[in-house]
Amino acid sequence: MENVIIIGGGPAGLAASLYLARANLNPLLFAGSPPGGQLMLTSDVENYPGFESILGPQLIEKYRAHVQKFGTRIIDQNITKVHLNNSPFTLSTVDKSYSAKAIIITTGAKALWLNLPNEQRLRGKGVSACATCDAFFFKDKIVAVVGGGDTAMEETLTLTKFASKVYLIHRRGQFRASKIMQERVFKNPKVEIIWNSMVVDVLGEDKVEGLKLKKVKDVILNHAKRGEGSLANASSNESRDSSSSTQNDKENILIVDGLFLAIGHKPDTDIFMRQVEFDSKGYIITSARLSLELAKFKIQSSKFKVTVENSKLEEIKNKFNLNFHSSTSVEGVFAAGDCVDYIYRQAGTAVGMGIEAALDVEKWLGVETPNY
């Protein structure tokens, strides 16, 4: 019988294990195979406090050495089954089963990719899914963003602080992002929008040198008028500064130094389906998230004089132990990191959430758990 099992070996899980190990709770961490989360696929990390520059895999290696020094046991295997209906909880790998009084889920999330021939080959060499992480490397360069939601707008605006020009490529003729975010993008002089187009390949040998675009439904490329929300037809552009695309039937070559994907993330939470409460995108709902949503709903209800209760929130509210921010809808099961965080998705924020979950578990084990 384990006191606590942590599922996931990225920053959140490792941070949680460090605090639990120092609390003499002897945590067992399943880091997965391959272990380490998204940082293992990241090149230079320059925005993690304490390191001016470090490779993602090196940062994970330091994390692991640190937590093992204090007694965390790490198993580089995937959990294949979980049973959270009854306490103690049971978990299984391909060859063994485990039981635990408490569980911390830190399985993370993965960026959605276009699955292009050269996309993954050039990942970390100009292809990225995080402008907050990598925008600095594209100072005074030309980049492209793919997407049409709020995340794409945010990534685009972040990149304009560094890049000399940002192309925003969308396969439709209008964005699904909020109006205020669209207007900010339309008004930014560094942004040029390429409508009704999709990226079909990434060009370059050792780094991104361009993109191959294909028009959707044979529509002429458009761009937003500067400072306006209206659209205007764009002719073939003549220089790198205005647009480096050359038209060849239905395909265009766009010369850029970087490509940022902003088409969404998928949390790695399928294994917990129908066992803990999720939102519509698969992110695990914690007490902190639930409390925020309930507060937002009450404010909105008051503002617009809404009298109908939000039945979903009210229905699941009683499942949560609101004394612990990281608790899920199952008593004794906690969650942290990118499988919960659909907003920030940073290594630093994941670490903080992991620490919070560890402190919650420590308190919960001491106050709530019966002796087995």
User: What integer pLDDT is reported at residue 117 of this predicted model?
Assistant: 84
pLDDT digits (tens, 9 = 90+) for 68-82: 999 999 999 999 999
Residue 152, exposed/middle/buried by CB under 10 A (0-12, 13-18, 19+)? buried
Q: What is the mean pLDDT of residues 209-216?
A: 93
**Percent residues over pLDDT 90 in the chain:** 65
Q: pLDDT at position 330, please?
A: 96
- Is residue 194 scored above 60 in pLDDT? yes
In the prediction, which pLDDT does 251 show?
Answer: 76
Instruction: List beta partners, residue 202.
Output: 211
What pLDDT shows up at residue 343? 87
- Position 268 confidence tier, pLDDT thresholds 50, 70, 90: very high
> Which one of 76, 133, 140, 257 is the catalytic residue?
133
Q: Which residue has the tokens 């007490």?
A: 287
Identify the residue whose tokens are 């129908």: 274
pLDDT at 219: 42
Residues ≥6 apart with Cβ < 8 Å to 53:
44, 45, 46
Question: In the annotation, is 339 catalytic?
Answer: no
CA 241 from centre of chain: 32
**Residue 310 has what pLDDT?**
56
Instruction: State yes or no: pLDDT of 16 exceeds 50.
Output: yes
* pLDDT tens figures, 272-329: 999 999 988 899 999 999 988 888 776 665 554 444 445 566 678 888 998 999 999 9
The pLDDT tens digits of the residues spanning 51-70 come to 988 988 899 999 999 999 99
Give me the catalytic one of 44, 134, 140, 268. Answer: 134
pLDDT of residue 230: 27
267: left (phi over 0), alpha (psi -120 to 50) or beta: beta
Q: Is the pLDDT of residue 262 over 60?
A: yes
357 within 8 A of 104, measured Cβ to Cβ: yes
Q: Is pLDDT at 235 greater than 90 in this prediction?
A: no
pLDDT of residue 158: 93
Per-residue pLDDT at 220: 40
Question: What local confidence, expressed as pLDDT, does residue 306 receive?
Answer: 44
- Domain coordinates of the chain in residue numbers? 2-109+265-367, 127-261
Predicted local distance difference test score (pLDDT) of residue 246: 38
Confidence at residue 218, expressed as pLDDT on a 0 to 100 scale: 47
CATH 3.40.980.10 is right for the domain spanning 127-261: no
Across 219-253, b (16+ Cβ under 10 Å) vs e yields eebbbbeeeeeeeeebeebeeeeebbbeeeeeebb
Mean of per-residue pLDDT scores for the chain: 85
pLDDT at 267: 94
Dist CA 191 CA 259 (whole Å): 14
Confidence of residue 372 (pLDDT cuts 50, 70, 90): very low
Spot the catalytic one: 44, 76, 130, 270.
130
Q: Is the dihedral of CA 318, 88, 363, 287 positive or negative?
A: negative
Can you tell me the mean pLDDT for 247-251? 54
Would you say residue 215 has pLDDT above 70? yes
DSSP for 134-191 reads: HGGGGTT-EEEEE--SHHHHHHHHHHHTT-SEEEEE-SSSS--S-HHHHHHHHT-TTE
CATH no. for 2-109+265-367: 3.50.50.60
Q: Which is higher by pLDDT, 278 or 34?
A: 278
Domains 2-109+265-367 and 127-261 share a fold: yes
**Is position 134 annotated as part of the catalytic site?**
yes
Note the pLDDT tens digit of each residue in 322-356. Answer: 899 999 999 999 999 999 998 888 999 999 999 99
Confidence of residue 227 (pLDDT cuts 50, 70, 90): very low
Distance CA 33, CA 36 (A): 8
Mean pLDDT score, 168-188 = 94
The DSSP 8-state label assigned to residue 348 in this structure reads: H
Length of the chain: 372
**Residue type for position 142:** I
Q: How high is the pLDDT of residue 327?
A: 97
pLDDT average, residue stretch 108-135: 90
**Res. 222 pLDDT band, cuts 50 70 90:** very low
